[in-house]
Amino acid sequence: MPFPIHRPRRLRRTEALRGLVRETTLSTKALVYPLFVCPGTNVKAEIPSMPGHYRWSVDGLVEECQSAHGLGIPAVILFGIPEKKDETGSGAYDPKGIVQRAIRAVKKAVPDLLVIGDVCLCEYTSHGHCGVIKDGEVENDLTLELLAKTALTQAQEGADIVAPSDMMDGRVSRIRRELDAHGLSGTPILAYAAKYASTFYGPFREAADSAPQFGDRKPYQMDPANQREALREIASDIEEGADIVMVKPALPFLDVLALARREFDVPLAAYQVSGEYSMIAAAAEKGWIDRERILMESLISIRRAGADFVLTYFAKEAARLLKC
């Protein structure tokens, strides 16, 4: 219809009108809150590059989970910083490891809060890589055995979902097999299916002390230049039994998210990663942007692109804003 019959501004005149025709919504039910847990008691150590986020000992972590639950946040994802690291990342699959203990404590104190275990070795290896090193490289198939043990011990301590983030080939089917063999066929797998070798993880690596001590993660995480490959990764994770697939990071890869939404009829998650958080936090601290409006805009954009839910360091803040 030619102008002036068609005037899109008519439906933008008031908040009520805009609300009526809004295509995407953001609910607290779609937020997952990432948390870091470390040994000790009474530890609440701020992460310098992620102001407002902390390494918590289990006691404080439980309180933080209670507070998130009180705000209506349905789920947390836990990352562990172990007492000591070694070549094979044994802290990751120790049945009494830091994350395993944290899972048990949180599930006991807040049973309705979903606890997701991040399954990876990089926080637990002395070299900082996501798998075992053989001849200077991360050895895929040996690593699968350790990832399977990691997922199993987390699920046995009560994790509601396990989330492999290592990017080894075949990990989803290996983990599925391990869980099923131990009577845990009801535990879903959230696969970090399209996980890119991204510099946006910088602040996380400071938080988790998990930067690789040599080389980088490009031999296993995806090349940020690739889009079609993401669809192959997602398809193979679904085929291997992933219940939910994830794209990570979120904002720099919205095209991948949108394509994945169109191609696959499975639940889709996105991870708004540490660097995305820190950039917003830093610019807001300088007074250059409006923190609250930017964080809400970024979250609605991730939902609009196709994510059913979002892992975000803004979870508590967004939940508070959604309440007003």
The residues annotated as belonging to the active site are 195, 248
Using the minimum distance from each CB to ligand PBG, give the nearer residue, 46 or 180.
46
Pairing of strands 244-248, 137-139: unpaired
Beta carbons within 10 angstroms of residue 26's beta carbon: 18
C-alpha torsion sign, points 33, 207, 79, 268: positive
Residue nearest to ligand PBG (CB): 204
Using the minimum distance from each CB to ligand PBG, give the nearer residue, 150 or 165.
165
Asked whether 319 and 28 are in contact (CB, 8 A), the reply is: yes
Using the minimum distance from each CB to ligand PBG, give the nearer residue, 26 or 120.
120
Non-local (6+) Cβ contacts of 221 within 8 A are: 167, 195, 196, 197, 198
Using the minimum distance from each CB to ligand PBG, give the nearer residue, 93 or 201.
201
Retrieve residue 224's tokens. Answer: 């940020």
Using the minimum distance from each CB to ligand PBG, give the nearer residue, 48 or 183.
48
**Least distance (Å) between residue 254 CB and ligand PBG:** 17
**Least distance (Å) between residue 104 CB and ligand PBG:** 21
First to last CA, the chain: 39
- List, as one string, the DSSP characters of 137-162: EEEHHHHHHHHHHHHHHHHHTT-SEE
**Least distance (Å) between residue 155 CB and ligand PBG:** 18
Radius of gyration of the chain measured on its C-alpha atoms: 20
* Interface positions with ligand PBG (CB under 6 A): 118, 120, 122, 130, 165-166, 201, 204-205, 273-274
**Least distance (Å) between residue 42 CB and ligand PBG:** 25
- List, as one string, the DSSP characters of 177-235: HHHHHTT-TT--BEEEEEEB--GGGHHHHHHHT---SSS-STTTSBPTT-SHHHHHHHH
**Least distance (Å) between residue 120 CB and ligand PBG:** 4
